[in-house]
Chain A
């Protein structure tokens, strides 16, 4: 038991070492090279601001996190549903894939202002919509791939049991697709947060993190702006980490196909 713990610790040691080194160099380098506070405040200053400003910062983070979460859930759910629908009717699937791939190449972020017009810019729904659109495609494409990756032999086996389409779906296609779905959800979790914050740039409630960071930067409160960036990053990682946790619980087997 301890051997395993030691091994795990050993795995994380290099990352920890890098963390210490970089933060140390950062802290020292700022002082040494007189870097402008605008570009890169000292880590100690950032952390200080993170806590001293928490009354404005943390609620703003929560507000934006909710937008990201809402968009993540909505977009991923729609993506899975769309993939299920498309996967069920194979001809639609093959015709649809090129469209999906092309749609993936469109910079969705350019539509952020339009979402603001559709759903009041001050409402969180406009940012949720951006996050949802960003999440939809990767989830749909990967879920579809997963659903289509069941081995033909497994399908044959199920047919030898005279299984119905629904049973084949339930017992073979869905479990095979799960690893793919989680890979996509990990990507989507990061995109959701970024989508929410970028969306807020074009206009949003003052209680939103993106707006806060932006306005802080504009009035030259760089340290607080960086503290906001730190918070945004932490929140993104939290969402990502939650998905990883759920994955560990649900997908308890070594995926045969591996990750996308």
Chain B
């Protein structure tokens, strides 16, 4: 029952957005306003044009755009999923290690923070060149992109894991000390459960980050099989067929949302009390 209510809420939101789009378009074209940007069929195609484009092939004798984008989406999702997994595991593990040493924290955290200011787009080509030869042929290409995606994922997971592990109730830790419990036992029995809400909050962020990382990673590596490649392609033809790029973006947005929803569902399954309501 609640699922039906939620589904109709989503449908309502989509309808409102479509309505706003067309309304904006209509007002701006009628009034001829050029701020913030000129509105015409190239800069803002009709929603219907975009939707129709899904059913049409982009070139002669090619499958329909929808099918094309579907496969590209799967490709990108593969990269994101692997990147997400790697980043989450690395971030979590690092967090579990760092929580035991203030010294290591103070030594490394500033750089981990600074590392996020490095534009991955700039170092992506280097990552690709470095990682690809090290991978078996079946993993080459997209494997490097997964690594790039993991770069964006690991940081929020690390930071939140650390905070979560440190948030354990001081009295619970004292109790474990009375049992003369070892460091790892304390970690597993007390700290990790305490960290779960924080970790899941980070995973929700990381889900999106991994998709962003995958798309960005595809750009310099020249991979055609993913959404990033599609974006570059359709960007070149934009003035001729604007709706194709828009269609790609809609698919990219959906991929991001789907990933997010998966993490939320996983959270509900694993943490059986009310999940963290915050972003």
Which residues of A come within 8 Å of B, CB atoms?
Answer: 11-15, 17-19, 22, 38-40, 98-102, 104-111, 113-114, 116-119, 138, 141-142, 145, 190, 193-194, 197-198, 201-202, 210, 213-214, 217, 225, 228-229, 232-233, 236-237, 240, 260
Dominant secondary structure at the A interface: helix
List, sorted by A's number, 7 A–B pairs whose CB atoms are closer than 8 Å: A14-B106, A18-B108, A107-B208, A107-B256, A111-B249, A118-B43, A237-B117
Q: Does chain A have a CB within 8 A of B266?
A: no
CB contact between A11 and one of B9, B106, B227, B248 (< 8 Å): that residue: B106
Q: Does chain A have a CB within 8 A of B196?
A: no
Closest 4 A/B residue pairs (Cβ): A236-B117, A14-B107, A105-B260, A118-B37
Chain B residues within an 8 Å CB radius of A13:
106
Q: Does chain A have a CB within 8 A of B30?
A: no
Closest chain B CB from A140 CB (angstroms): 10
- Whether A15 and B118, one on each chain, are in contact in the complex, defined by CB atoms closer than 8 angstroms, is no
Closest chain A CB from B169 CB (angstroms): 15
Chain B residues within an 8 Å CB radius of A107:
208, 211-212, 215, 252-253, 255-256
- CB 8 Å contact bits of B218-242 with A (1 = contact, 0 = none): 0110000001000100010010001
Q: Which residue of A lies closest to B209 (CB)?
A: A107
- Whether A210 and B119, one on each chain, are in contact in the complex, defined by CB atoms closer than 8 angstroms, is yes
Q: How far is the CA of A236 from the CA of B43 in the complex (A)?
A: 31
Closest chain B CB from A95 CB (angstroms): 9
Closest chain A CB from B115 CB (angstroms): 8
- Whether A15 and B245, one on each chain, are in contact in the complex, defined by CB atoms closer than 8 angstroms, is no
- List which B239-266 residues lie within 8 A (CB) of chain A: 242, 245-246, 248-249, 252-253, 255-257, 259-260
- Whether A213 and B257, one on each chain, are in contact in the complex, defined by CB atoms closer than 8 angstroms, is no
Q: Does chain A have a CB within 8 A of B13?
A: yes
Q: Does chain A have a CB within 8 A of B1?
A: no
Q: How far is the CA of A154 from the CA of B126 in the complex (A)?
A: 54
CB contact between A229 and one of B119, B220, B227 (< 8 Å): that residue: B119
Max count, chain A CB within 10 A of own CB: residue among B13, B42, B108, B118: B118
Q: How far is the CA of A214 from the CA of B123 in the complex (A)?
A: 10
Q: How far is the CA of A33 from the CA of B24 in the complex (A)?
A: 59
- Whether B126 and A39, one on each chain, are in contact in the complex, defined by CB atoms closer than 8 angstroms, is yes
Which residues of B come within 8 Å of A, CB atoms?
Answer: 9, 13, 36-37, 42-43, 103-104, 106-111, 114, 116-123, 125-126, 129-130, 207-208, 211-212, 215-216, 219-220, 227, 231, 235, 238, 242, 245-246, 248-249, 252-253, 255-257, 259-260, 278-279
- Whether B212 and A17, one on each chain, are in contact in the complex, defined by CB atoms closer than 8 angstroms, is no
Q: How far is the CA of A214 from the CA of B121 in the complex (A)?
A: 9
Q: Which residue of A lies closest to B242 (CB)?
A: A117
Closest chain A CB from B159 CB (angstroms): 11
Chain A residues within an 8 Å CB radius of B212:
107-109
Chain A residues within an 8 Å CB radius of B121:
197-198, 201, 210
Closest chain B CB from A233 CB (angstroms): 5
- Whether B130 and A39, one on each chain, are in contact in the complex, defined by CB atoms closer than 8 angstroms, is yes
- Whether A237 and B122, one on each chain, are in contact in the complex, defined by CB atoms closer than 8 angstroms, is no
Q: How far is the CA of A260 from the CA of B278 in the complex (A)?
A: 9
Q: A141-B279, A213-B122 are in contact. Are A237 and B249 (CB under 8 A)?
A: no
- Whether B119 and A232, one on each chain, are in contact in the complex, defined by CB atoms closer than 8 angstroms, is yes
- Whether B107 and A110, one on each chain, are in contact in the complex, defined by CB atoms closer than 8 angstroms, is no
CB contact between B278 and one of A17, A145, A202 (< 8 Å): that residue: A145
- Whether A240 and B256, one on each chain, are in contact in the complex, defined by CB atoms closer than 8 angstroms, is no
Q: How far is the CA of A119 from the CA of B164 in the complex (A)?
A: 43
- Whether A101 and B211, one on each chain, are in contact in the complex, defined by CB atoms closer than 8 angstroms, is no
CB contact between A233 and one of B43, B103, B114, B242 (< 8 Å): that residue: B114
Chain A residues within an 8 Å CB radius of B116:
190
Q: A110-B252, A119-B37 are in contact. Are A99 and B13 (CB under 8 A)?
A: yes
Q: Apart from A118-B37, A229-B119, A232-B122, what 14 extra A-B contacts exist at CB < 8 Å?
A: A11-B106, A14-B103, A14-B104, A39-B126, A39-B130, A104-B260, A104-B279, A105-B207, A106-B253, A109-B216, A145-B278, A210-B122, A229-B118, A237-B114
